């Protein structure tokens, strides 16, 4: 049984790393391919988890549009499948890498397993292009590792064979616990030490992230308006690791530079970001991974999107949809900062054993 794991972005790497580690712990051989849809941020995660790719497509180019990216992934993956035969390819979530790798495998009649399967907004433009990527990958996949019962229900409604769906929890919780344990045991780095020196952490910390394409332009301008209003509070420090995309950086640095309690910093490596999350009182983010991680840290998330495919967190009170409306964001921040206790007691996305469930399934399938 020859297994290939393939991913391309930092979030995918974080969420697939626990599966790689679990396979190694159980002495199940596999090969690892990265497309490097993200480059620098991806490499940081690979180094932290000790993963060395067997194939590195290194496809990222400046100003590369989605069609060119998709074509390159298809062509380069086909070249791999020509030279080496695999029985099963594992892909993750909703990226262009996942969709195109799944399609390339399907063209070669290789079975596909989809990690973090079944999340839906049923709005093909929100998130764009991720929603359609995830649905497309789900149509191709032979095995579906759904993080929640809701995700499983979505798949069953789409007539996926029940026997091919396994509810696992989300592997990002596994990665979070692995990282927290390393930090507990003394892990640190320059980024963490610089944050300690620069910020002080005497006030309540509001952590901000943002990268979604649907918020480019007016969305990020409105987010900045909200943050300027929040910064008038004397009891908070706002820390914003600014995404590298120029559509984000140009707006954020133009609107938010030189505000005393708004700290614009470079994107953090994964362990530094986990450390910063653990020090935060509140998170404002459009990240799916953050929505899944924060409940384990008992930290509420204001989701700066109009829709989310992660409604379990909304329903459990772990997060709230605010979009990029400045009034909604400000009102929600003020309301959460008044509360003494966070109502989300259990993380609806799992307890840290998702990777083992997936690997146990693969062992059974191999036998």
Q: Tell me, yes or no, whether 11 and 144 share the same domain.
A: yes
Averaged pLDDT for residues 3-9: 97
Please state the separation of Cα 94 from the chain's center in Å. Answer: 10
Q: Tell me, yes or no, whether 264 and 327 share the same domain.
A: yes
Q: Is 130 a catalytic residue?
A: yes
pLDDT of residue 159: 97
Whether 98 is covered by a domain: the verdict is yes
Whether 270 is covered by a domain: the verdict is yes
Q: What is the pTM of this model?
A: 0.93
Q: Tell me, yes or no, whether 202 and 255 share the same domain.
A: yes
CATH of the domain at 16: 3.40.50.2000
pLDDT of residue 340: 66
Q: Tell me, yes or no, whether 254 and 290 share the same domain.
A: yes
Q: Tell me, yes or no, whether 147 and 23 share the same domain.
A: yes
Averaged pLDDT for residues 87-97: 97
Q: Tell me, yes or no, whether 292 and 357 share the same domain.
A: no
Whether 194 is covered by a domain: the verdict is yes
From 115, 114, 133, select the one nearest 124 (Cα to Cα): 133
Number of domains in the chain: 2
Find the helix packing angle between 40-49 and 171-184, rounded to 10°: 70
Whether 344 is covered by a domain: the verdict is no
Whether 126 is covered by a domain: the verdict is yes
Whether 200 is covered by a domain: the verdict is yes
Averaged pLDDT for residues 312-325: 94
Q: Tell me, yes or no, whether 138 and 278 share the same domain.
A: no
Q: Which residue is catalytic, options 12, 116, 131, 293?
A: 116
Q: Do residues 230 and 260 touch, judged by C-beta distance below 8 A?
A: no
Q: Tell me, yes or no, whether 156 and 205 share the same domain.
A: no
Q: Tell me, yes or no, whether 103 and 216 share the same domain.
A: no
Whether 347 is covered by a domain: the verdict is no
Q: Which residue is catalytic, options 12, 76, 130, 286?
A: 130
Q: Do residues 366 and 309 touch, judged by C-beta distance below 8 A?
A: no
Q: Is 243 a catalytic residue?
A: yes
Q: Tell me, yes or no, whether 357 and 328 share the same domain.
A: no
Q: Is 78 a catalytic residue?
A: no
Q: Which residue is catalytic, options 108, 213, 233, 263?
A: 213
Residue 156 predicted with pLDDT over 80 = yes
Q: Under the phi-then-psi rule, with left for phi > 0, alpha for psi from -120 to 50, and beta for the rest, what region is 319?
A: beta
Residue 126 predicted with pLDDT over 70 = yes
Q: Which two tokens stand for residue 62?
A: 């400046």
Q: Which residue is catalytic, options 211, 212, 305, 310?
A: 211
User: Can you give the residue range of the structural domain that contains 360?
Assistant: 3-169+352-366
Tokens 């204001």 sit on residue: 302
Q: Is 213 a catalytic residue?
A: yes
């Amino acid at each position: 049984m020859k297994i290939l794991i393939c991913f391309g972005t930092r979030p995918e790497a974080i969420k697939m790393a626990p599966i790689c580690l679990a396979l190694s712990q159980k002495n199940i051989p596999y090969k690892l391919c990265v497309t490097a849809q993200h480059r620098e941020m991806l490499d940081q995660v690979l180094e932290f988890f000790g993963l060395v790719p067997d194939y590195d497509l290194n496809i990222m180019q400046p100003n590369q549009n989605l069609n060119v990216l998709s074509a390159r992934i298809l062509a380069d993956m086909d070249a791999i499948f020509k030279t080496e035969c695999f029985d099963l390819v594992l892909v993750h979530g909703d990226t262009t890498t996942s969709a195109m790798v799944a399609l390339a495998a399907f063209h070669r009649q290789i079975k596909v397993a989809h990690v973090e399967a079944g999340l839906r907004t049923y709005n093909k433009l929100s998130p764009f292009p991720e929603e359609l990527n995830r649905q497309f990958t789900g149509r191709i996949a032979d095995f579906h590792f759904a993080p929640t019962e809701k995700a499983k229900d979505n798949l069953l409604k789409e007539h996926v064979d029940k026997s091919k769906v396994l509810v696992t929890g989300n592997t990002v919780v596994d990665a979070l616990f692995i990282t927290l344990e390393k930090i507990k045991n003394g892990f640190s780095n320059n980024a963490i030490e610089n944050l300690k020196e620069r910020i002080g952490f005497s006030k309540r910390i509001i952590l901000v992230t943002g990268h979604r394409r649907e918020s480019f332009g007016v969305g990020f301008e409105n987010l900045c308006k909200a943050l300027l209003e929040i910064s008038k509070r004397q009891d908070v420090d706002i820390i914003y690791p600014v995404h590298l995309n120029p559509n984000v950086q140009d707006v954020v640095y133009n609107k938010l530079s030189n505000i005393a309690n708004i700290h614009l910093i470079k994107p953090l490596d994964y362990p530094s970001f986990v450390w910063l999350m653990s020090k935060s009182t509140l998170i404002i983010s459009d990240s799916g991974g953050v929505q899944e991680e924060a409940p384990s840290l008992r930290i509420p998330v204001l989701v700066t999107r109009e829709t989310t495919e992660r409604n379990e967190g909304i329903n459990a009170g772990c997060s709230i949809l605010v979009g990029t409306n400045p009034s909604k964001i400000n009102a929600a921040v003020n309301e959460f900062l008044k509360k003494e206790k966070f109502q989300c007691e259990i993380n609806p996305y799992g307890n840290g054993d998702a990777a083992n469930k997936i690997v146990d399934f693969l062992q059974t399938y191999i036998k």
